[in-house]
Amino acid sequence: MSFLGSKAKTDETWMSASDMMAGLMMVFILITVTYSQTVEKEASKTQSLVAEWQNLEDAIHLALEREFRSDLEKWQAEIDRETLTIRFMAPEILFPPNQAEIQPFFKEILLDFLPRYIEILEGRFSQDIEEVRIEGHTSTEFGDKGPAEAFIRNMDLSQRRTRNVFEFAMKMPALENKTPWMIQTLSANGLSSSKLIYKNGLEDRKKSRRVEFTVRTKTKDQLNKILGEGFFRTRKGI
Residue 117 DSSP code? H
Helix (H, G, I), strand (E, B) or coil at 185: helix
Element (DSSP H or E) covering residue 216: strand 210-217
| Lowest mean per-residue pLDDT among 15-29, 32-46, 94-108, 113-127 | 32-46
* CA–CA gap between residue 187 and residue 190 (Å, rounded): 10
pLDDT tens for 96-118 read 999 999 999 999 999 999 999 99
For 195-203, what is the mean pLDDT?
93
* CA–CA gap between residue 45 and residue 177 (Å, rounded): 37
Q: Is the pTM of this model over 0.85?
A: no
Helix (H, G, I), strand (E, B) or coil at 198: strand
Confidence of residue 226 (pLDDT cuts 50, 70, 90): low
At residue 18, does pLDDT exceed 80? no
User: Do 64 and 237 form a contact (C-beta atoms < 8 A)?
Assistant: no
DSSP letters for 52-93: HHHHHHHHHHHHHHHHHTTTHHHHTEEEETTTTEEEE--HHH
Confidence of residue 16 (pLDDT cuts 50, 70, 90): low
Residue 197 DSSP code? -
pLDDT tens for 165-194 read 999 999 999 999 999 999 999 999 999 999
DSSP letters for 124-184: HSGGGEEEEEEEEE--S-BTB--HHHHHHHHHHHHHHHHHHHHHHHHT-GGGGGGHHHHHH
User: Do 186 and 99 form a contact (C-beta atoms < 8 A)?
Assistant: no
